[in-house]
Structure 1
Amino acid sequence: GGLALTGLQSGIVIDMGGTTSDIALVRQGRPVMAAEGAQIGSWRTGIRSIKIQTVGLGGDSLIRHHKNTHLVIGPRRAAPLSWAAGRYPQVLEQLELLLQAERKHTVSLAEFFYRVDKPGKHSSESLTCQEQRILDALAAGPLSLQNLADKTGSTIYNMKTERLEQQERIMRCGLTPTDIMHLTGDYPAWQRKAAEIGADIMALQLSVTREDLVAEVQNKVKEMLGSAIIEMLLDHEYSEDPGQGLSGVVGLGRTLLRQHMQPDGQDRFLQPEMACAVPLIGLGAPIHLFLPTVARFMRTTINIPRHAAVANAVGAITGQVMATAEVLIKPRYAVSGITGYDGFSKARTCHFETHDHAVAWAREQAEQEARRAAAERGAKQADVQLSVDRRDAAIAAVRNETDPVRPQSAAPVYLETVVQAKAIGRIDLAWL
């Protein structure tokens, strides 16, 4: 979708949604692939896929404070206070009482819970006594963390809501970047007053003004987004070099980005620079608020298309299908050496006397299988790229009887040949 809307063929695509931000590399119209799988946080999927890094950062990421010292954004998702107050008037009433109390606490107090499950959808047999009390207490409407603890005879430290949230029986709401966008006027969709009170309560916990809190949240989001992009690029460029300690470099990049956003960021003796060779392509409704700062720091251009908020829908229509197929060729060895070759495709096995005949057959089989797979995914017309990879094994040097000082090298041993076909084509809309 990003390529279709911008007309670019290469770049770094950043899609910022409600729960996560996804980052992908594109070169010459094709996504860069990762043999070790996509990265989600610090985890690798282990399945060959498009090279994507996912970070728990979006418009609905929960904003908390850590023991009244600093902000933490995500990866937990929450419904924005501005949205919740528009749907449930009692949320605004409870927020006002929390602000009037002017209570400081090591736990973020301006968080609420409400029921989302439907009667009869879940069995109550597996619920603990506390979980059942939580559901009963929320039957009349949303409650703040403290009010929920009081109604269930518990404390805010002993509230076990995680399992009910995972089962989607209850939903958490709290201060989010979407609420901050209500305060700046960038997204005035719901109840601004709830966002103001939620921000004031958070500012009280951190002993800062509301304006300082807004600036800190904006900078924190930019820092997290920029750090994820830097980590993605470093991993792509240097991951095959075992001598590189990338964690320290990523940390340095994060520090430099933070300094870049500070008012005195340019008044330093040391001004390291980081340059990105391709443009940043921003997608998602809130991306225009955060990505320009990252692009300036990385000294690259930025392209946010007019319809960035619906790029995923555009991509579903204009995107390309890619299907791959591999055919394996194995030698048949005897005492005298190689006596023939066996070809293994997905559908059949054939025997050949020469390697050239085996490769010709493998190329034909791989192309047919790749085209068939692409057609099954909706691409009736596809271009096919073929590659032939011969694999040999190096043999350790052997003793040279005529010159013991210089070992005699042995010829490499042929192991196999892998023929791969990659079919790429656009989806035929009539197929949909």
Structure 2
Amino acid sequence: MTAQPELFRDQFPYTAPPRIVFDGGDVPTALPDDIFITDTTFRDGQQARPPYTVDQISALFDLLHRLSGPNGVIRQSEFFLYSPKDREAAYRCMEKGYRFPEVTAWIRAVKQDFALVKEMGVKETGILTSISDYHIFQKLGMTREQAMRQYLDIVEAALAAGIRPRCHLEDVTRADIPGMVIPFVKRLTELSKESGIPVKVRLCDTMGLGVSYPGAALPRSVPKLVHALRMETGITGDLLEWHGHNDFYKVLTNAGTAWLYGVGGINGTLLGFGERTGNTPIEALLIEYMGFTGDTSIDTTVITEMAEFFERELGYEVPPMTPFVGRQFNVTSAGIHADGVVKNEEIYNIFDTGKLLNRPLGVHVTDKAGAAGVAFWVNRQLKLEGEARVDKRHEGIKRMTEWVAEQYKDGRTTSLSDAELLGAAGRYLPKYFSAR
């Protein structure tokens, strides 16, 4: 192993954005038969927001259980164990007796942390095994040999205690794949075979540097990284996880790519909370999982319940344009779009959001909505469908549309509220609405 750190300065100059280098090679896809999700809402997710209370963790864990569905799509949820509150939360969730998600732990690669895992009776723990030379040389002040020996000592201690170890390869997309990552994972697979206990490997794209592009070079190429580990170490997809960050807006794409090239599990958090730009949102992973597998057993309306819990109980305002959970994600404002929606909502809706998310398609009524937008809002309020709908050519709709235009003559820029629209509807459509 090298005595000097390999920092890949051709790709990571630091004084400029990272370069995406191409070597022209490509590797085949290898989507596993069994793909799944793991959760780190109570570990990485808590590093980006005020800590949850024990009661809040318990309630969110119930939502994760319901989102797991009958097939246990969300297999595990990891917890810190350092404080009495951390341990109380883990115990509370373990006592629920759910098969999915299983409660697991997270520790540093030091023996005093491992003692906490044994004391708690947790069956699996993540172990921080920083893998790039940025971390080994510059953070830990070690050589590669010293770091690997320390990591393996903790893994061997876990195996001796009958605990499943999960090695978190921190900063893997800046690591020397053939020189450090593959030798380490090879040794882990050997220990797994010798002990008869599965040793898992989590590939941590700590800085969000992974890319999915065909022909991109290591260490940033997600396809080549996963392929190299499977081919060179013999590790199987069920023992591989991907943990991504969103520093370069690639978090969901890289997660789907990791699945596609052979990783079994993708690690994420509710609403994507995580250090800096966050982790892969579990709600997005569930939709992606359904796209890959065709599994429709999940009650996806729980996604909306989860987002409402964050707003109601935690005081978090979900950014309005957030896919699947933001107030505006399936709300159109343009009149021409509203006209299409009136004819068939499938034209401008991503899927049946009313059925799958309990979030019917909506329209913002502004001066851009036109008669079609006003008619859509009226029919949504009245729950009218098919031939029972009020047509955009109805005299009351025309007059209400003229009223809408009047509201914007003085430069108003905000959409009209339901209260304002109900008042106007009472005046111009008295047959359907009471006057206000």
Report the TM range for the smaller structure's normalisation. under 0.3
Greater fraction helix: 2
Greater fraction strand: 1
